Structure 1
Amino acid sequence: MGLSALLDHHLGARGDQPALESGARTWSYAELDTTTAERAARLRAAVPRGRVVLAGEHTPDALIWAIAVLRSGLTYTPVNANLPTDRMREALDLAHPALVLCCTADAAAVRATGHRVLTPDELPDEHAPLGDRQEIAYSIFTSGSSGLPKLVNVGHRGIENLCTAQTRLFGIEPGTRVLQFSSLSFDASLAEVLVTLAAGGTLVVPEWDGGSWVQAVGAHLAAHGCDLVTLPPSVYARLDDTAKQGIRTVVFAGEALSEVEYRTAAKHSRVLNAYGPTEGTVCFSVAELTRFSTTVGTPIDGYSARVRTADGCATSGTGELVLVGAGVALGYEGRDDPAFTEVDGQPAYRTGDHVELRDGEVHYLGRVDDQVKRLGHRIGLGELEGRLSRLLDTRAVVLLDGSSLVLAHTADHLPETELRARLREVLPPWEVPDTLLLVDAIPVTESGKADKDALRVLARRAPAPATDPAGADPEVVRGIVAAAIGGDIDLTTSVFDAGGTSFTLVQIQVDLAERFGEDEVQDAFDKLNYDFTVQGFLDALGGAAAPVSPVHAVFAQVSEDLADLALPTSDLARAGGAITVTGAGGFIGGHVLDRLLGTGRPITVVTTSRPERLVERHRARFGKREGDFDGVAFLGYADLDRAPESGWGPVVHCGFEVNHLLPLERHLTGSVATTRALVRAAAARGSDRFVFLSAASAGAEFAPFTEESLAAIGDPYSQAKFVAEAYASALDRPVDLLRAGLVYGHAPQEEAFLDRDVFTWLLRLSRRLGVLPRLSGLVPVCHVDDVVSALVAAADAGTVPGVRSLLVHRTYDLDALRAEFGLDDARVVEPGDWLDAAAGGGADSRVLAALRLWLADDGWAEPVATTDRQIIRELRQTIGD
C-alpha cells in the first residue's frame, strides 16, 4: 500500500475518534480526513507533479499541512525553517522543489533563496483530483550533514512495515496518546505521525510559544503526561522528574543510550531503544529493555541484518552494519553512492555503524567513519571541515576532543569573538565548534595528514588561566549552560531557577572543565556554594574570593520564620484517625505504604505524583490489586489547606528530594517548604504524632538548631534535613526524628531506584574494574524492612514522648568491602587512580563527578553492628554481579 493510500484508509475509517490534540483543541479522524483531503487537493492544483518542500515547526497547523502533502501523492520534503539563508539555499537548490510551502510566521528568509515560496494563505483556492503516486514517497535531508547536503529519497516499500512493526512493538492502540516531539525536518516525525494514525492513536502537540521547545515539552508532560514519547537520550536528560513521571513508555532513538539515562527512565516508564538511519525508512530495529544493555534490538518486519567484514557479509560477528530489506531507501538525490548496494538480491545499505551482531540482536559499538552525533544531528567531520575551510579561506581541521567539537585554524585575521559570531550566523547550533584553536600552522604526521592528536594536546592547553577572567568569554560559558538546560539563560539567573537539576549542574561542570581545565573549574565550583550562575562562575574563575556562606542568612531566615510560625491548634485526633504518608512514590515511602495497605486503617497519601500513576506503579512494584487502595485518599501539597480539618492520626513524612548538589536556599523553597506545609496541616487537623525520616548525614548527635550546628553539617541536602527537623520539632505533640543511613534491600523490580545512588555506582564500577577505591571512613547502611518497621512503630506509639533515633544498622569498612568482592589489598587504589580507571572504562562523566564529591567525604566515624543482614551482598545481587 502506498503512502497516500495508507493515509486515505486510516483517516477515513475512525470517525469521531480523536486524531490530533493541542491545548484545548482536538481534531477527530473525520475532521482531519476532511481538512487534509481539501488541502491536498489545493496542493495538487498548484503542483501537478514534483516535490513540495515544507518549512514549518511544532505547530498543529504545520503538522496538518505536512499530512496534506503526504496525502497528495507529491514528494514530501520537510526542511528546518530556521536554517541560515545560505544553508537553506543549498538545500533547496539540491531538492529542486516545484513549491516551497512556508508554514512559519516569517517567510522572508525562505523567500530570499530565490525559489517559489508560498504560504498556505497564498495557495490558489483551486482543487484538483489526486493523481498517481510518485516513486519517491518522501525525502529527508540527512540530519546535520555538512558541505553539500545529502537528500535521502525514500520509497513506499517500507512504510507499511514500519507502521505494522512499531504499532505492535510500541503497544499503540486506539486512544493511545503519542507525543509529536520531533522536528518535521527529522524522519522521526514521520514515524510519530504515520504510525500513530495507522494505529488509531492520538497525536499530541504541546502548546508552544516559540521559545524553548524542550521546555514546552517538559511542561506539557509534567501537567498532562503522555502514553508514548520518542526522544534522544540527551533531550530526556533535560526533563525534570515530574515530566519523566508522566511518560508511560519512552522510546530512545537518535543517540546511543547511556546507563544513567536508562536507569532514570526505567524508574518511571517502560523503556525501548530504537535504531535506524534515515536511509532505512526511519526504524531498523527495536529493543525493549528490562536491564541496561548496548543492544538496539532485532530487525523489524521486512528487514534482516548483516555485518560487513574483510571476508564479506555475515549474519553474526563484529563489523559494519548492513541493512537488508524492502525499507532501504532509493538512494541520494543527484548522486550515486556505494553505500546503497544489494545483498542476496535485496536492497541493502551500509550504515557506517560499527556493531556486534549476536544471537540476532544488534549491539551498537560506534562509528566506523568520522561521522558523529551532536544534539541528535549527524555531522560528517570531514565535510564540515571542508565547509569551514572555504568559509575562512584558510586551512581548517575539525576534530572531537571528548565531547567537545574543536576547530583548529590559521585565520589570524579574525578575532575569536568575531569568528564565533560569524560561525553562529552561518551554522546550525549543532555544528558550531565548542573550542576555537588558532595555530600558526596545522601540524602534520609523517604521511602529511593533519596530526589530530597533536591538535588535541594544543586544544587542552589553549584555555586562558583561571586568574585571567578575560580568558573566559561570557557567551562561551552561557552557551555551555544553555545547551545543558535546553534554553537560554542570563548571566545572573541560577541554573536551578532555570529548571536545572543536580545532574544538569554536574554536566555543566564537566563541559566547562573540558574548556577551561578540570582543576580551575573545580576550584571555581568550590567557591559557588552548590549554586551556579554564569556571572558567579566567571567571577570565581577570575580569582574572586568565595562568596559568603549562605548558612548565616538561611539560619536567620528560618529562625525568624519559626518564631512567627504560629501553628494552628486543635484537639488531637481520636485514636484510629487516618495515617498520613508522604513519599509513597519513592523507595522507602512506597514500602511504608505497602506495609499499611490491607491493615484496615484509613490512609491519606500526600504526593506530588498523579494518584492514578502512583497506584499503577505501586501495583506493578508490589503485586497489589486495585481494590487494595479502596481505603486510600490522595492529596497534593497544594490541597493541604482544603483537607478535612479533623480526623488525621499520625503523619509519616518520607517525601524529601535526595539531592546533595542542590543549594541550601533551593531546598528551602522545595522539600523544606513542603515539610513546613505538612507540619502546619498536621497541627490544624489534629494529628497526634509526627514522624520524620531524616538523614544520618545530618550528624550522629541531635544538636539544638543553632547556626553553629547548621554550619557543621557537610552538604546542603543534610543541612536541609536538619532545617526540616526544626520545623517538625515546632509541633506541640510527639515528634519522632529518625536519621537513617544508606537504605538498601531493593527487590529486582526496584533496581531503578538505585539509578542515582552514588554508593551503588561505586560498587558497580568497582566490580567492572576489579579494584576498589581506598575509603577514609565507614559506610553506614540499613535495611528498608528495618527502617519501615521503625517508622510504623513510631507512628503507632500513641501519646508517649517522641524519640530521636539513629537508624544505622551496620557499617562496612574497606576490609569488609574487599571481602565482599574477593579482592586482596593490591586491588585497592587511591581514589584519584580509581576515578581515572573508571573514566577510562567509559563511565558516565556525571556519575564520576558525583563520585568525586562522595569519595572526598570522611565517611562515618563509629562502627555499628546491630544486624546480621548481609546488606551489601543483597545490594550486589540486585544490581548484578
Structure 2
Amino acid sequence: MTTALDRRLGAGLLHHASIQPGRVALTLGRRAYTYEETALTARRWAAALVDAAGRRPERVGVFAHRSEVSYLGVAAALFAGAAFVPLNRKFPQERTRTMLERADVDAVLVDAASAPQLAELLPRLPKPPVVLLPDARRADVPGLAGYRVLDAADLAAFSPLDELPAPGPDDPAYLLFTSGSTGVPKGVPVTHANARAFLDVNQDRYRLTPDDRLTQTFDQTFDLSVFDLFMAWENGAAVCAMDPIELLAPFRYLERNGVTVWFSVPSVAAVLRRRGVLGPGTMPTLRWSLFCGEALPRATAEAWQAAAPYSTVENLYGPTELTIACTVHRWDPVMSPDACVHDNVPIGRAYPGLHALVVDERLAVVGDGEAGELCVAGPQTTPGYWRAPGLTAERYFERDGRTYYRTGDLVRHLDGQYVCLGRNDQQVKVGGHRVELGEIEAVLRRAGATEAVCLLSPGDQAITAVVSGTGDTEALAAACAAGLPSYMVPKSLRVVAEMPVNANGKVDRAALRDRLGEHSADDRPAPPEETAGHR
C-alpha cells in the first residue's frame, strides 16, 4: 500500500538508500556520495532542523551554491517535513534578504562560501531564522553573535532522524522566487502533489534506471534543477553536478562520468555550436538530450543530434507555475525541421493528464492554427502565488471545474502540437531565466529615471535599457548591478529626450525599438563608461 511518505518529494532517496546503499547518488567534482551517506547526512541535518524549530519546520532556506550543503540541504529540508527555499549567493544581498523575509523561513542551511553574507543579511530580517552551518565553524563566521547557530560540530552530534514528519500532498515541497514586475520577487509554492505528477509523467517517458547518470547544469534557484535531483534520486540514478566552467567543453566530463542524460538551456548548446566544438559523435554516452527554459533553434538541435548520435533529443517547455515542464517535442531529423516556426523547434504536446487551451484576450478559445495565449490546467498546476491573492487572480482562472494558469506565451496548435510564437507581455527569457522587464524598469525608476523601458534584442538576447529624465547613467548602471542578478543587468543604457507614445498614451515599444535602430541624437548609446554590462 502506498503511503503519504512514499509520495513525498525525496521518498526515492530514502528508498534507494535502503536497497542500494553503496550506489552513487551524487558527484561533486571528484567526490562521490553514496545513497547511504547522502540519506544519513540529510537525516542528521533534518533532526537538527526539527529540534531547532521545536516542531516540524514549515520552510527552510538553502543558502548554498553547488556544494554538499546545497544538495544535501534540500534533502534535509524535505526529510524534516519542510519546503526548501533555494537561495543564491551570486544574487545581490538585497534580493536574498527580500526572499528570506517573504518566505518567512524557520531556519537556513548555509555553506561556508555563502556564510560571510550573513553579517549583512541577518540584522535586516524582522524574524531571523536559526542558522545551520554544516561545513563551517561558528567562530569562523563573523556577525553571528546574538543569533541561534548550529555549526558543523553541533550537527555532527545529532542522530539521524528516524520518524520523518509526513507532509500532505497539498503542502509545498519547495518555494521558488521568480522575477516580479513590481520590482519584488514573486514566490511560487510547488506542492508535493505537483512534483509527484511531474516525476511520474517523466519516468513513464524516460524510464531511468540506477545505471543512469544525469547532468546538473542549473543553479538551484532555477527550477529545472529539480528535474536533475529528483528524477535521479527517485529512480536510483546519480546526479553529476557540473562546474559551470565545464559547460564550455563538457565532452571529457561526460565521458569520464559516463553521463547518459543531459539537461540544459538551449543557449549552452548554441554556444558550443558557435564555437565549432560540437563535432559529430563527440558525446557518445548520452541516451537522452533534454533542453528547456528558452527557444531551441533548429540548427542547435541538428548539431546536437549529430554530436550525440545515440541520444534522443527533446525540447521541453513550461513555466515554474506549471511545475518545471508541461509540454514536450521529440526531435525527428526528418519531420521536425518542417515543423519549426521562426526556425525554432516546436514545444510539442501537453503532458498526459494536463488540459491545454489557447485563448484570446477575453479568454475565449481560438480556432486550431490561430495564435493565442497558452493556458494549462491539471495536477502540475501550482496553487497560486505565495501570499499574493491579487496576483494569483490575475494569472489563474477557473473553467469547467479546472484551474488554468495563463502562461503569457503566444502559441499556435498545428498538426497536433504547439509552436511558441513569443511572449504576450513583458516577460522575456535571458539565458533560460524568465525575466520581468518591469522589474528592471522599477529599479531604474527608483534610481532616478523619470521613465524607463527595457527591450530585448532577438539576436543576442541582450537587454537594452532606455531612460528619460536623467543623464546619470553611471548611477543607473550601479543601481542595476547592486539590485539585480547579473543575467538581468542591462547590456547597455540609452538616454532619450522623451519616450514615443501610441494613441492610448502608452509607451510605443515598437516605435522606440525602431528609433534606437536609427541612432538619432535623442537616443544615442550611452558612453562606454556609462554603460551597464553583465558581470
TM tier, shorter chain?
0.7 to 0.9
Query: Whole-Å Cα distance in 2 between the matches of residues 20 and 300 of structure 1?
Result: 28
Query: Whole-Å Cα distance in 2 between the matches of residues 179 and 243 of structure 1?
Result: 20
Query: Whole-Å Cα distance in 1 between the matches of residues 328 and 313 of structure 2?
Result: 11
SS of aligned partner of 2:428: strand
Aligned 8 A contact 1:146 1:387 in 2: no
Q: How many Å apart are 1:313 and its aligned residue?
A: 4.1
Query: Whole-Å Cα distance in 2 between the matches of residues 352 and 34 of structure 1?
Result: 43
User: One-letter code of the match for 1:37?
Assistant: R
Residue 282 of structure 2 is aligned to residue 245 of structure 1: yes
Q: How many Å apart are 1:42 and its aligned residue?
A: 1.8
Change (3 A) 1:311 1:20: closer
Residue 237 of structure 2 is aligned to residue 201 of structure 1: yes
Aligned 8 A contact 1:400 1:406 in 2: yes
Q: Which residue of 1 aligns with 2:491?
A: 434
Aligned 8 A contact 2:468 2:498 in 1: yes
Gap runs ≥5 in structure 1: 465-469, 489-881
- Given the alignment, which residue of 276, 284, 289 partners 2:318? 276
Query: Whole-Å Cα distance in 1 between the matches of residues 376 and 321 of structure 2?
Result: 9
User: One-letter code of the match for 2:105?
Assistant: P
Aligned 8 A contact 2:494 2:526 in 1: no
Q: How many Å apart are 1:448 and its aligned residue?
A: 1.8
SS of aligned partner of 2:447: helix
Residue 153 of structure 2 is aligned to residue 153 of structure 1: no
TM-score (norm. length: structure 2):
0.80
Aligned 8 A contact 1:326 1:346 in 2: no
Runs of 4+ deviating beyond 6 Å: 474-477
Residue 97 of structure 2 is aligned to residue 89 of structure 1: yes
Q: Which residue of 2 aligns with 1:267?
A: 306
User: One-letter code of the match for 2:376?
Assistant: L
Aligned 8 A contact 2:327 2:350 in 1: yes
* 1:833-879 superposed Cα distances (whole Å, 9 cap, x missing partner): xxxxxxxxxxxxxxxxxxxxxxxxxxxxxxxxxxxxxxxxxxxxxxx
Residue 256 of structure 2 is aligned to residue 256 of structure 1: no
Change (3 A) 1:218 1:267: closer
Gap runs ≥5 in structure 2: 1-6, 123-127, 137-148
Q: How many Å apart are 1:130 and its aligned residue?
A: 2.7
Task: Please list, as runs of the form range in 1=range in 2, the aligned pairs for 1:253-402 lying within 5 A after superposition.
Answer: 253-269=292-308, 270-291=312-333, 292=337, 293=340, 294-309=345-360, 310=362, 312-313=364-365, 316-318=368-370, 319-336=372-389, 337-338=392-393, 339-392=395-448, 394-402=450-458
* 1:573-617 superposed Cα distances (whole Å, 9 cap, x missing partner): xxxxxxxxxxxxxxxxxxxxxxxxxxxxxxxxxxxxxxxxxxxxx
Aligned 8 A contact 1:306 1:316 in 2: no
SS of aligned partner of 1:195: helix
Change (3 A) 1:306 1:159: same
Q: How many Å apart are 1:25 and its aligned residue?
A: 2.6
Residue 133 of structure 2 is aligned to residue 119 of structure 1: yes
Q: Which residue of 2 aligns with 1:103?
A: 111
Q: Which residue of 1 aligns with 2:223?
A: 187
Aligned 8 A contact 1:139 1:154 in 2: yes
Aligned 8 A contact 1:306 1:313 in 2: yes
Aligned 8 A contact 1:219 1:243 in 2: no
Q: How many Å apart are 1:255 and its aligned residue?
A: 0.4
Task: Please list, as runs of the form range in 1=range in 2, the aligned pairs for 1:217-236 lying within 5 A after superposition.
Answer: 220-221=253-254, 224=257, 226-236=259-269
Query: Whole-Å Cα distance in 2 between the matches of residues 273 and 372 of structure 1?
Result: 18
Q: How many Å apart are 1:188 and its aligned residue?
A: 0.9
Change (3 A) 1:311 1:326: closer
Query: Whole-Å Cα distance in 1 between the matches of residues 509 and 249 of structure 2?
Result: 40
User: One-letter code of the match for 1:283?
Assistant: A
* 1:314-346 superposed Cα distances (whole Å, 9 cap, x missing partner): 795542111111111111111121222333323
User: One-letter code of the match for 1:261?
Assistant: T
User: One-letter code of the match for 1:40?
Assistant: A
Query: Whole-Å Cα distance in 1 between the matches of residues 380 and 184 of structure 2?
Result: 25
SS of aligned partner of 1:112: helix
Task: Please list, as runs of the form range in 1=range in 2, the aligned pairs for 1:726-745 lying within 5 A after superposition.
Answer: none
Q: How many Å apart are 1:91 and its aligned residue?
A: 1.7
Task: Please list, as runs of the form range in 1=range in 2, the aligned pairs for 1:657-668 lying within 5 A after superposition.
Answer: none
Greater mean alpha carbon deviation, residues 303-312 or residues 56-65 = 303-312
Aligned 8 A contact 1:308 1:314 in 2: yes
Greater mean alpha carbon deviation, residues 70-79 or residues 284-293 = 284-293
Residue 66 of structure 2 is aligned to residue 14 of structure 1: no
Query: Whole-Å Cα distance in 2 between the matches of residues 3 and 224 of structure 1?
Result: 26
SS of aligned partner of 2:192: coil
Q: Which structure shows the higher helix fraction?
A: 1
Aligned 8 A contact 1:340 1:348 in 2: yes
Query: Whole-Å Cα distance in 1 between the matches of residues 167 and 328 of structure 2?
Result: 30
User: One-letter code of the match for 2:52?
Assistant: A
Q: How many Å apart are 1:388 and its aligned residue?
A: 1.8
Q: How many Å apart are 1:53 and its aligned residue?
A: 1.1
Q: Which residue of 2 aligns with 1:407?
A: 465
SS of aligned partner of 2:296: coil
- Given the alignment, which residue of 39, 42, 55 partners 2:63? 55
Q: Which residue of 2 aligns with 1:131?
A: 165
Query: Whole-Å Cα distance in 1 between the matches of residues 114 and 87 of structure 2?
Result: 15
Residue 489 of structure 2 is aligned to residue 450 of structure 1: no
Aligned 8 A contact 2:49 2:107 in 1: no
Query: Whole-Å Cα distance in 1 between the matches of residues 444 and 76 of structure 2?
Result: 38
The number of residues matched between the two structures is 472
Query: Whole-Å Cα distance in 2 between the matches of residues 219 and 475 of structure 1?
Result: 41
SS of aligned partner of 1:173: coil
Structure with more relative contact order (C-alpha pairs < 8 Å, separation 6 or more): 2
Q: How many Å apart are 1:179 and its aligned residue?
A: 0.7
Change (3 A) 1:132 1:199: closer
Aligned 8 A contact 2:63 2:114 in 1: no
Q: How many Å apart are 1:109 and its aligned residue?
A: 2.3
* 1:725-774 superposed Cα distances (whole Å, 9 cap, x missing partner): xxxxxxxxxxxxxxxxxxxxxxxxxxxxxxxxxxxxxxxxxxxxxxxxxx
Q: How many Å apart are 1:282 and its aligned residue?
A: 1.1
Aligned 8 A contact 2:368 2:412 in 1: yes
Query: Whole-Å Cα distance in 2 between the matches of residues 217 and 68 of structure 1?
Result: 30
Q: How many Å apart are 1:449 and its aligned residue?
A: 1.4
Task: Please list, as runs of the form range in 1=range in 2, the aligned pairs for 1:840-859 lying within 5 A after superposition.
Answer: none
SS of aligned partner of 1:204: strand
Query: Whole-Å Cα distance in 2 between the matches of residues 56 and 156 of structure 1?
Result: 23
User: One-letter code of the match for 2:420?
Assistant: Y
* 1:673-732 superposed Cα distances (whole Å, 9 cap, x missing partner): xxxxxxxxxxxxxxxxxxxxxxxxxxxxxxxxxxxxxxxxxxxxxxxxxxxxxxxxxxxx
Aligned 8 A contact 2:448 2:470 in 1: no
Change (3 A) 1:23 1:395: closer
Identity %: 30
Q: How many Å apart are 1:357 and its aligned residue?
A: 2.5
User: One-letter code of the match for 2:331?
Assistant: L
Query: Whole-Å Cα distance in 2 between the matches of residues 177 and 243 of structure 1?
Result: 22
SS of aligned partner of 2:435: strand
Query: Whole-Å Cα distance in 2 between the matches of residues 312 and 230 of structure 1?
Result: 35
Aligned 8 A contact 1:143 1:186 in 2: no
Q: How many Å apart are 1:55 and its aligned residue?
A: 1.4
Residue 178 of structure 2 is aligned to residue 142 of structure 1: yes
C-alpha RMSD of the superposition: 3.0
User: One-letter code of the match for 2:165?
Assistant: G
Aligned 8 A contact 2:180 2:439 in 1: no
Query: Whole-Å Cα distance in 2 between the matches of residues 250 and 32 of structure 1?
Result: 27
Query: Whole-Å Cα distance in 1 between the matches of residues 281 and 403 of structure 2?
Result: 39
Change (3 A) 1:65 1:456: same
Query: Whole-Å Cα distance in 2 between the matches of residues 236 and 438 of structure 1?
Result: 35
- Given the alignment, which residue of 242, 247, 251 partners 1:214? 247
Q: How many Å apart are 1:154 and its aligned residue?
A: 1.1
Greater mean alpha carbon deviation, residues 39-48 or residues 5-14 = 5-14
